[in-house]
Amino acid sequence: MIDTILLDGNRTIENDSSLTMKRESVFQEMARNISEEVGSCNAGQLFRFHAEFSQQFGEYIWEYHPVFWRTVLERLSSNKDIENVLQRVYAHFLSIYERHIELFDDVIPFLETQSRKRKLGFVANGNEQRLQRLIERYKLNLFFSVLAISGECPFKKPESFLFKYALNSLGTQPKHAVMIGDRYSTDIFGAKKLSLRTIHLLRRNVCPDEVGSPCYCPDALVRSLSEVETLLEKPHYFGFERVFAPQEKSDTTVSEAVIVCGGHGTRMKGLATNKQKCSLEVGGIPIIDHLVRTLVAVGCRKVYFLLKHKGNDIRSVVGDGSRYHIEPVFVETGSKSTLSAVLGCIDSIGGNFYYLHGNILYPPRLLELLFFKYSQLGTSTVVLVPDDGRTRHSRMMRNSNGIVVSIDLSGSPSDSSNQFLFMGLSIYQKELFVRTFHDVESKMTEEAVSVAVREKQRIGSLVYEGPWRHYETEQDYVQDSRHTPVELVSW
């Protein structure tokens, strides 16, 4: 049971865009203040200094931090007593900040609701003076029982101290707490080092801050705090096998993926006539967007999109890949089978790769569990689910060690309790496809698994018994179209 929620600050509860959109007026007011302190200064100079700072050190809201204003003062003045001036200048900025900063619209309703049910902790990296202004402005101390701010101690996320401090102060064990934040490298990775549950908050039109690794993968991706209660009401959602993240980030990962997203969607009827079914939106989010973000979370840097019907719909969602931090490769196959499509690009793939059907939704951490099962078995590994009696995927049987021993490619349902349905998700070793296949234009990708099994090669499996959504028919989609992805894959 989750009885404690830890929340990050900036871009989780604090809407920094409310201030950055007013940067011109902020810099004009700051220029007048600096002119009174050290001499002539104008907003144009501040914009130029900000651009130079960002070019040298990376894009950030540099005005939030005293180091930026110190640099400005050093550029404009030879006064050696700069620290006293800096204190006054930064205090003036904080007064502007306090007047203009906003919370996201969903924050106060979320805090009001959750504070009546659970313990809340604020765990944030940042300057304590600025964050205290935010806390005072919105009386956040009425909701948070503990404030763990990096500027008040020698440590910052992803180091463990802030998380441990918050948990100890709240008297909570890690298994009963969830961390909600917007950054892989600090919020998700840091919390997972202590085996906390994690929710990655990517608000609408905001993409991942960087490519992750299996150790980063959150329990859930949400676009709003209003979606979180759906998860917390279903305790089994967080019942995934816990995988402890290593103390250091690992470079071991599967960095490429192949998504099959070219089907005509004939069973979708009119829905797929003018739209590629994998680009249909659920809760306002294209299905393919959900898949790509999840791949990024587990460390994929290059994704092959196997296109055929309405391929431009997929291209328009993914674009050049920069918003996801991936290199997209769009492959117009013209093939009649998934096996032929994969074989058409296999020479370009560098090594082992995730294989996904582009019309499926599932919890993000399923990819992480697949990766660890693949690493444990050291061979191609498929995800199997209980047979639902209607999905037209291959059926497989496995032994007690999880090794696939037989495969039925007909797609026909089975009455056997020992036979499982292929979910359309796997990690394949490239060598599985570097062989001779016959009549490839009529075969599914799982033909490679079938050949390997006949040749007594090991193919591993992971049985998943949780929720997943397979958009194969018009009814599948219509009944789900108004729900968010979180609602659809929560237990």
Q: Where are the domains of the chain?
A: 4-10+103-238, 17-100, 256-489
Q: Spell out where 145-270 has E strands.
A: 146-149, 177-181, 197-201, 220-222, 256-260
| CATH code of the domain occupying 4-10+103-238 | 3.40.50.1000
What whole-number distance in Å separates Cα of residue 139 and Cα of residue 206?
27
The letter for the amino acid at 181 is G
- Express each pLDDT in 292-328 by its tens digit: 999 998 889 999 999 987 889 999 999 999 989 999 9
- Express each pLDDT in 186-215 by its tens digit: 999 899 889 899 999 988 666 676 777 787
Token pair belonging to 255: 């960095």
Average pLDDT, the chain: 88
What whole-number distance in Å separates Cα of residue 161 and Cα of residue 194?
10
The answer to whether the CB of 404 falls within 8 A of the CB of 453 is: yes
pLDDT higher than threshold 50 for residue 471? yes
Average the pLDDT over 128-136 and give the result: 95
- Express each pLDDT in 19-78 by its tens digit: 889 999 999 999 999 999 998 899 999 999 999 999 999 888 999 999 999 999 999 988
- The dihedrals phi and psi of 285, each to the nearest 5 degrees, come to -120, 125
CATH class of 256-489: alpha beta
For the beta carbon of residue 485, count every other beta carbon within 10 angstroms. Answer: 27
The answer to whether the CB of 329 falls within 8 A of the CB of 453 is: no
My answer on whether omega of the bond before 158 falls inside 30° of 0, hence cis, is: yes
- Is residue 169 classed as helix, strand or coil in its secondary structure? helix
Average the pLDDT over 156-180 and give the result: 95
pLDDT higher than threshold 80 for residue 80? no
Judge if 4-10+103-238 and 256-489 fold alike in CATH terms. no
With cut-offs at 50, 70 and 90, classify the pLDDT of residue 491.
very low
With cut-offs at 50, 70 and 90, classify the pLDDT of residue 440.
confident
The answer to whether the CB of 61 falls within 8 A of the CB of 20 is: yes
